[in-house]
């Protein structure tokens, strides 16, 4: 089968991945309502194209946190990428660099901060942070990201505990013995096995992550580091305003790919209230359910300045390592270009809110 769209890569990955890894990657929380809606909500939005607007020259470039990027799509942090392919995070980070995209490294990666820095020196890299109960350990992660020239900290704020991921519980999800959480030296922290008969990852998160974190900890982090702080997992105007008031550099509108609070809104549904509240003075980004050029276009039209993909990158990696992620990014880039041309938008600035309407406005 030739691979011509993200869904093809997903199909291929489903054939290739071992069941436990596939279940960990593809599933959401609870009844997976939010997981499904992340994609479905895009289908309820219609595009209003404009014509005769000279689309012979296209410019998809953008500047995010001072960094010049080829186009407004980056790679969201996803844990344990060596479950997909031995290239792991090194392959994804290099592919992101090739595409001129941001790469966000997860705290729970199977290649270390330093390994990624050496393997992908040219890539614009951000580090995703979880705050551990052990604050000195957390501080060390921040220092290492700074030293390794990562350009921003992405603090994930929607995971005080793990969501109810039923497949992982059934599979008693554990990290295979040949892999390790590479950012940790302590053997206890390098892996997890199910001891209580459910998901081993759940047990790891419950024992290690600090569920008491609050807005005061944003201040704690700010006095630790000069790096810009981006909050990932914001879904309401209220929290977006707090993020702005606490001096964060940006937010990622995200529901963790439907893996945390089930029946939380699709991210594209949550975006408008957030943009209305803070869009003028805070960098607003989004992830969740992005599969094609029209999805990227709709998120940009509704006010996101860039978007990120989680699972699609994992499907690319599973299909063919670094090369697979490169191919997938090329396909998505091309698809965005087609969309921009057909909608009459030679630059990102031309993508306007009026170009996206809910389907209900056509059915009256
Ligand atoms: C994630 N996500 C995630 N987020 C984060 O902040 N730290 C992490 O370690 C992980 N790990 C992770 C693993 C897997 C397998 C998935 C699917 C997701 C969430 C991720 O960054 C992002 O929010 C979603 O994946 C976006 O949705 P899509 O693109 O997968 O639909």
Predicted confidence at residue 322, as pLDDT, reads 98
What pTM did the predictor assign? 0.99
User: Domain for residue 25, yes or no?
Assistant: yes
Q: Whose CA is nearest to atom 6 of ligand 1?
A: 156
Residues of the domain holding 225: 6-359
Q: Whose CA is nearest to atom 5 of ligand 1?
A: 77
User: Domain for residue 225, yes or no?
Assistant: yes
Q: What CATH number is given to the structural domain containing 182? A: 3.20.20.70
Number of folded domains that form the chain: 1
User: Domain for residue 160, yes or no?
Assistant: yes
Predicted confidence at residue 358, as pLDDT, reads 98
Predicted confidence at residue 307, as pLDDT, reads 99
From first to last of the 364 residues of the chain, give the pLDDT tens digit: 899 999 999 999 999 999 999 999 999 999 999 999 999 999 999 999 999 999 999 999 999 999 999 999 999 999 999 999 999 999 999 999 999 999 999 999 999 999 999 999 999 999 999 999 999 999 999 999 999 999 999 999 999 999 999 999 999 999 999 999 999 999 889 999 999 999 999 999 999 999 999 999 999 999 999 999 999 999 999 999 999 999 999 999 999 999 999 999 999 999 999 999 999 999 999 999 999 999 999 999 999 999 999 999 999 999 999 999 999 999 999 999 999 999 999 999 999 999 999 999 998 7
Q: Which residues are annotated as a binding site for FMN?
A: 77-79, 106, 128, 130, 156, 232, 254, 310-311
User: Domain for residue 364, yes or no?
Assistant: no
Angle at 361 between CA 6 and CA 347, to 5 degrees: 50
User: Domain for residue 330, yes or no?
Assistant: yes
User: Domain for residue 184, yes or no?
Assistant: yes
User: Domain for residue 1, yes or no?
Assistant: no
* C-alpha separations of 179 from 112, 135, 329 in Å: 12, 25, 26
Predicted confidence at residue 188, as pLDDT, reads 85
Predicted confidence at residue 251, as pLDDT, reads 99
User: Domain for residue 52, yes or no?
Assistant: yes
Whether 288 is in the pocket of ligand 1, judged by its Cβ within 6 Å, is: yes
Q: Helix H segments across 246-306?
A: 267-278, 293-301
Predicted confidence at residue 155, as pLDDT, reads 98
């Amino acid at each position: 089968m030739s691979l011509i769209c993200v869904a093809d890569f997903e199909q291929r990955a489903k054939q290739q991945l071992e069941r436990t890894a596939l279940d960990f990657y593809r599933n959401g929380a609870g009844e997976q309502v939010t997981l499904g809606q992340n994609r479905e909500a895009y289908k309820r939005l219609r595009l209003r194209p404009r014509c005769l607007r000279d689309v012979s020259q296209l410019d998809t470039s953008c500047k995010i946190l001072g960094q010049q990027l080829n186009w407004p799509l980056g790679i969201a942090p996803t844990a344990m990428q060596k479950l997909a392919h031995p290239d792991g995070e090194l392959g994804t980070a290099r592919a992101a660099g090739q595409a001129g995209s941001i790469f966000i490294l997860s705290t729970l990666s199977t290649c270390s901060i330093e390994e990624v820095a050496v393997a992908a020196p040219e890539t614009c890299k951000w580090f995703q942070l979880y705050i551990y109960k052990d604050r000195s350990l957390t501080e060390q992660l921040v220092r290492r990201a700074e030293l390794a020239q990562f350009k921003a900290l992405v603090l994930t704020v929607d995971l005080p505990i793990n969501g109810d991921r039923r497949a992982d519980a059934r599979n008693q999800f554990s990290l295979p013995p040949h892999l390790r959480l590479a950012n940790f030296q302590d053997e206890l922290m390098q892996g997890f096995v199910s001891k209580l008969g459910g998901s081993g990852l759940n047990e790891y998160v419950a024992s290690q992550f600090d569920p008491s974190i609050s807005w005061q900890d944003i201040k704690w982090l700010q006095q630790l580091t000069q790096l810009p702080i981006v909050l990932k997992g914001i879904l309401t105007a209220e929290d977006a305003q707090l993020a702005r008031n606490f001096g964060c550099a940006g937010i990622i509108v995200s529901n963790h790919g439907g893996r945390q609070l089930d029946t939380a809104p699709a991210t594209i549904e949550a975006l408008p209230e957030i943009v209305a509240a803070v869009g003028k003075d805070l960098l607003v980004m989004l992830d969740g359910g992005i599969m094609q050029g029209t999805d990227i276009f709709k998120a940009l039209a509704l006010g996101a300045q860039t978007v990120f993909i989680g699972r699609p990158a994992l499907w690319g990696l599973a299909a063919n390592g670094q090369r697979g992620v490169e191919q997938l990014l090329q396909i998505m880039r091309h698809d965005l270009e087609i969309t921009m041309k057909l909608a009459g938008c030679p630059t990102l600035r031309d993508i306007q809110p009026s170009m996206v309407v809910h389907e209900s406005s056509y059915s009256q």
